[in-house]
A and B are shown apart, each in its own frame.
Chain A
């Protein structure tokens, strides 16, 4: 049985930052793999009913993860994550941007900087995700983009609410 772990969200609008913290019931090495190997990332990165599909990945500083999120109606959102720094099993940072299907960056869309840190907590692993953007407007947009995929996930709850 998995006890649902609590996720902690902190928004720091003044510094254009959101921090998401969550613990996972597995050793650091396993959690690290799930975040850094494409065949594993594809299995969980997109919230259902969306699917994440890796086009290419080169996990090293200066390398890229090029992938898309595919919606149930076949809508595709292409993204590129540029790996900036990598400290194996401890942390990595990426610059994330939206692109077209060829991987050309869409300059109208906000870019984000992510820093993901892994800390051992007994047999579990605490993951801290820090998302930073250039402007508050960009940060708002990023949150509302979560709206797009998140809404799909939230549908069920909403439908239940409406059925009452």
Chain B
């Protein structure tokens, strides 16, 4: 079955896995340590992410590491989209703050 990227990132645990891997490549054990769920549950999530190519596995010495597939991540929703979303939210919060301060004064 071909995995749909949007379906893959719709799950909160998988989103957390992706955000952890954005920070750094991790071994399966290091990654599983971040979660209360069982290792099997986490490895199932990773399988979904690798199947849709958001995450790739690379060997380094005796250890396997999971990496973010930057190319695929850019495809997900226009590379800048999350960055934009962060700023849009910030700015609309700033709009509200400025408006509230103005109203308080007048």
Closest to A125 in B: B98
In angstroms, how far is the closest chain B Cβ from the Cβ of A122?
Answer: 15
B87 engages A31 (CB within 8 Å):
no
Convert B73-106 into 0s and 1s, putting 1 for each residue whose CB lies closer than 8 angstroms to a CB of A.
1000101111111111111111111110110000
Q: Inside 8 A of A159's CB, which chain B residues have their CB?
A: 10
- Given A46-B90, A145-B22, A154-B81, 18 other A-B residues pairs in contact with their CB atoms under 8 A: A2-B96, A4-B95, A7-B87, A18-B83, A22-B91, A25-B98, A26-B98, A30-B98, A34-B97, A48-B93, A143-B83, A144-B68, A148-B82, A153-B86, A158-B9, A161-B6, A162-B7, A162-B10
B22 engages A144 (CB within 8 Å):
yes
Residues A143 and B80 in contact in the complex (CB < 8 Å), given A31-B98, A34-B98? yes
Please measure, in the bound complex, the distance between the C-alpha atom of A130 and the C-alpha atom of B48, giving whole angstroms.
37
Q: Inside 8 A of A162's CB, which chain B residues have their CB?
A: 6-7, 10
A48 engages B89 (CB within 8 Å):
yes
Chain A, interface size category, equals 35 or more
| Interface of chain A: mostly helix, strand, loop or mixed | helix
In angstroms, how far is the closest chain B Cβ from the Cβ of A32?
Answer: 11
In angstroms, how far is the closest chain A Cβ from the Cβ of B89?
Answer: 3
Residue in A11, A43, A108 whose CB lies within 8 Å of B93: A43
Q: Inside 8 A of A157's CB, which chain B residues have their CB?
A: 85
Q: Inside 8 A of B29's CB, which chain A residues have their CB?
A: none
Q: Inside 8 A of B79's CB, which chain A residues have their CB?
A: 143
Q: Inside 8 A of B15's CB, which chain A residues have their CB?
A: 151, 155
In the complex, how many residue pairs between chain A and chain B have their CB atoms under 8 Å apart?
117
Please measure, in the bound complex, the distance between the C-alpha atom of A162 and the C-alpha atom of B8, giving whole angstroms.
11
Closest to A47 in B: B89
Please measure, in the bound complex, the distance between the C-alpha atom of A154 and the C-alpha atom of B92, giving whole angstroms.
14
Closest to B9 in A: A158
Convert A110-127 into 0s and 1s, putting 1 for each residue whose CB lies closer than 8 angstroms to a CB of B.
000000000000000000
Residue in B9, B92, B94 whose CB lies within 8 Å of A4: B92
Sample 28 A-B pairs with CB under 8 A, ordered by A number: A5-B95, A9-B80, A9-B84, A11-B80, A18-B83, A22-B91, A26-B101, A26-B102, A31-B94, A44-B97, A45-B90, A47-B86, A48-B89, A108-B24, A144-B70, A144-B73, A144-B82, A146-B82, A147-B22, A148-B22, A150-B86, A151-B19, A153-B85, A154-B77, A154-B81, A154-B82, A161-B6, A162-B7
